[in-house]
Amino acid sequence: MTALTLLAAAAALLILQGVTFVVALKAGKHSVVDTAWGIGIALAALAAFLVSLGHGDTTRRALLLAASVLWGLRLAAYVGRRNHGKPEDPRYADMLRGRTNLYALRMVYLLQAAILWLATVPVQLGMLERSPAGPLVVIGAVLFVVGFAFESIGDWQLARFKADPAHQGQIMDRGLWRYTRHPNYFGDFCMWWGLFAISFGSWRELPALAGPLLMTFILTRGTGARMTDRRMTASRPQYAEYVARTSGFIPLPPKRAPKRSAAAAAPGERA
């Protein structure tokens, strides 16, 4: 049953990425794959849940499915609205310039399917865990709720800030963004580890640690916080001031803002 559950989730993600690739070719931009990321979280959990019916602890299974679907669909809806009507994301334009569609399929879509599959392995295995839900499940649920709040509220605050013409050319440093430069990434971090805690019921599932560990690396050192900081620092002169006073990942009270010189450049815009 374990192998079947893992294979079902893998097959669902491969089909999703195949469909997304076709949609991207018709739309003329590969940034639609960002919307598929959230859908993939929900789809992997749903596939694992359906294939493993009759197995595992009912409470744990219900929590894993509800959390994954809620997170995945909210994220997909937010990213889809944000990207609607906009041109190709510069990240994909730079990465795929001069490359074939086959290269894009391999290095964007199939790679994302593989990462999503590995990241959701704790959810897949948790559907089969028979041990009763205990304190660790409660801790995981609380951690997930905290992460969901950070990501949802952070996204909402940023979207509202950017929608106001009066904020044009300013850095978003209000609300949750006052305490961490990346409340959305911190929220993701909490949710991945929350799902792992909910799923964990025996030492046999320790290999599933690869999922949250991989996502922690991506969020902090890969294409998440570090890359965003590098891009913003290079394109927005005043972003360095924001970096100096604001925690990079874990929410912390802001440091005292450095004194600005008279020749300071105009503030940049938080992406």
| Residues whose CB falls within 8 Å of the CB of residue 130, separated by 6 or more in sequence, listed in order | 55, 56, 57, 201
Burial of 147 (C-beta count, 10 Å sphere; 0-12/13-18/19+): buried
* CB-based contact 246:174 (threshold 8 Å): no
Average pLDDT of 42-50? 98
**Residues constituting the chain:** 271
pLDDT of residue 203: 87
Whose CA is closest to 48, among 109, 122, 137, 110?
Answer: 122
pLDDT of residue 90: 82
Percent of the chain having pLDDT more than 70? 94
Is pLDDT larger for residue 222 or for residue 33?
33
Per-residue pLDDT at 14 exceeds 90? yes
Interval 144-197: pLDDT, tens: 999 999 999 999 999 999 999 888 878 899 999 999 999 999 999 999 999 999
* CB-based contact 266:241 (threshold 8 Å): no
Please provide the DSSP assignment of 190-236 as one string: HHHHHHHHHH--SGGGGGGGHHHHHHHHHHHTSTTHHHHHHHHHHH-
What is the chain's percent helix, strand, coil content, to nearest 5? 70, 0, 30
Percent of the chain having pLDDT more than 90? 76
pLDDT of residue 204: 85
Mean of all residue pLDDT scores within the chain: 91
pLDDT of residue 209: 96
pLDDT of residue 265: 32
Q: pLDDT band for 261, please (50, 70, 90 cuts).
A: very low
In the chain, how many H helices and how many E strands? 12, 0
Per-residue pLDDT at 266 exceeds 70? no
pLDDT of residue 17: 98
Instruction: Report the chain's terminal Cα–Cα distance, integer Å.
Output: 44
Per-residue pLDDT at 6 exceeds 50? yes
pLDDT of residue 259: 53
User: Which of 46-50, 98-102, 150-154, 207-211 has the lowest average pLDDT?
Assistant: 98-102
The model's pTM is: 0.90
* CB-based contact 1:128 (threshold 8 Å): yes
Is pLDDT larger for residue 1 or for residue 65?
65
User: Which of 176-180, 231-235, 259-263 has the lowest average pLDDT?
Assistant: 259-263
CA–CA separation, 60 vs 160, rounded Å? 36
* CB-based contact 12:43 (threshold 8 Å): yes
